[in-house]
Amino acid sequence: MGYVAIKGGETAIREAARVLEFLRAQGGGAPLAVDAVRDQLHFLTGRVIGEGGLYDPDLAALALKQAAGDTLEAAFFLRAFRSTRARLAVTDAHDGGGMRLVRRISSAFKEIPGGQMLGPTPDYLQRLFRFEQLAEGREAFQALAREWLHDLPSPDLPDSFPKVVDALRAEGLLPAPPDAAAPAFDITRDPLVFPVSRSAALATMSRAETGSMLAIAYSNMRGYGDVHPTVAELRVGYVPLMLPHPLTGEPVEAGEVLVTECEVVAMYTPTEEPGAKPVFSLGYGACFGHNEVKAISMAILDRSLQKGMAGTPDNPSEDPEFVLLHIDGVDSMGFCTHYKMPHYVTFQSDMDRLRATRARQTGQPHQAVPAEQPISGGQA
């Protein structure tokens, strides 16, 4: 009769998954419809498609449902799914100027070509509870949309608006735009090896975790850095997705993606070249979904990283390694949760070192705890 390895772990995993499912199903509420999550929690789905790096609002909503609303877990679902998909094509660089806008504001200018457009924003809401939403009837809920559509003025708006920074460029106050013809750095196919290009930095930040980016950008705003940004333009809208046609190679519109884009103007720095006029510097941020905090944080960090890439970073927010290696939610969340796994072997090794060191310093023999002595026996 031979001994068989215990398989306790297998049952434990299965039961843990079951109890997680139970938590979702308990309480007697109606099961969450994926389209309800996608539409009614659109900031949440927007955040998850951005951090997951996969533009699929339906799957993002399913991920949120499966993850019971945990954004890091939901982004992780999208990432894991995405890595199994083939890379079909690479688009050319998109011009945010062609965006079908739902919102655009400028904090730099009162009047901008095309005008300010507040759009959907919670910025000026009084955060007072609307208790009637505790029990919202289906009829009243659907009437909200009908009512709004009914009041809609005739659409005489242009399809797109000029970019505010273009006006500053025309005046010579901003540097020329960087060459967009260079192939973009693909963070899903190439590892970051420092020093990295700005393209790699932008791609990394674009799918970074919102809170991590906010924290590091906030440190810059509070004084660990000196970007002092002014929002030249913040836009939310749909960018046409132009893919090369499989036969002709000509760009064809294959759909559109909701994007938040932010350009910040920062103070000028002394010019390197003699005789050159000083110009403002620019920070750029863009991400999937409607996520203004992320786009603004990214624009600030883009600007602070440019300083760090040009010389010696003085603050963490200017250090490309510090910023880019610590803002990925899926990476950092995974490593954080791994500490919950057993560490018996390494801790055994740690104890051996501590016991050996104590024995050296007290002149006692090594391995100070005999087997027969209970732990509660008070070890010297």
Verify binding: residue 88, another protein, rule CB under 8 A: no
Q: Which is nearer to another protein, 121 or 367 (CB)?
A: 367
Verify binding: residue 377, another protein, rule CB under 8 A: yes
CB of 341 to another protein, least distance (A): 5
Q: Using DSSP, state whether 267 is helix, strand or coil.
A: coil
Verify binding: residue 80, another protein, rule CB under 8 A: yes
Verify binding: residue 344, another protein, rule CB under 8 A: yes
Taking contact as CB under 8 A, which single stretch among the options 130-138, 164-172, 286-294, 333-341 is the one that binds another protein?
A: 333-341
Positive or negative, the CA dihedral 125, 258, 112, 161 is negative
- Binding residues for another protein, total number by CB under 8 A: 65
Asked if 169 contacts 176 with a C-beta cutoff of 8 angstroms, the reply is yes
Asked if 225 contacts 219 with a C-beta cutoff of 8 angstroms, the reply is yes
- Kindly write down the DSSP assignment for every residue of 176-238, as one continuous string: PPP-TTSPPP-TTTS---SS--HHHHHHHHHTS-HHHHHHHHHHHHHTSS----EEEEEEEEE
CB of 259 to another protein, least distance (A): 22
What secondary structure letter does DSSP report for 26? Answer: G
**What is the rounded CA–CA span in Å between residue 380 and residue 366?**
13
Among residues 173, 192, 215, 309, the one that binds another protein under rule CB under 8 A = 192
Taking contact as CB under 8 A, which single stretch among the options 36-44, 78-86, 143-151, 262-270 is the one that binds another protein?
A: 78-86
Verify binding: residue 84, another protein, rule CB under 8 A: yes
CB of 260 to another protein, least distance (A): 23
**Which among 10, 68, 26, 20 has a CA at the least distance from the CA of 44?**
68
What secondary structure letter does DSSP report for 175? Answer: P
| Residue at token pair 């029990």 | 135
Q: Which is nearer to another protein, 47 or 207 (CB)?
A: 207
Among residues 2, 27, 183, 246, the one that binds another protein under rule CB under 8 A = 2
Verify binding: residue 311, another protein, rule CB under 8 A: no
| Residue at token pair 């507040």 | 118
Verify binding: residue 312, another protein, rule CB under 8 A: no
Using CB under 8 A, list all residues that contact another protein.
1-3, 5-10, 12-13, 76, 79-80, 82-84, 86, 188-195, 321, 325, 330-331, 333-338, 341-346, 348-353, 356-357, 360-361, 365-377
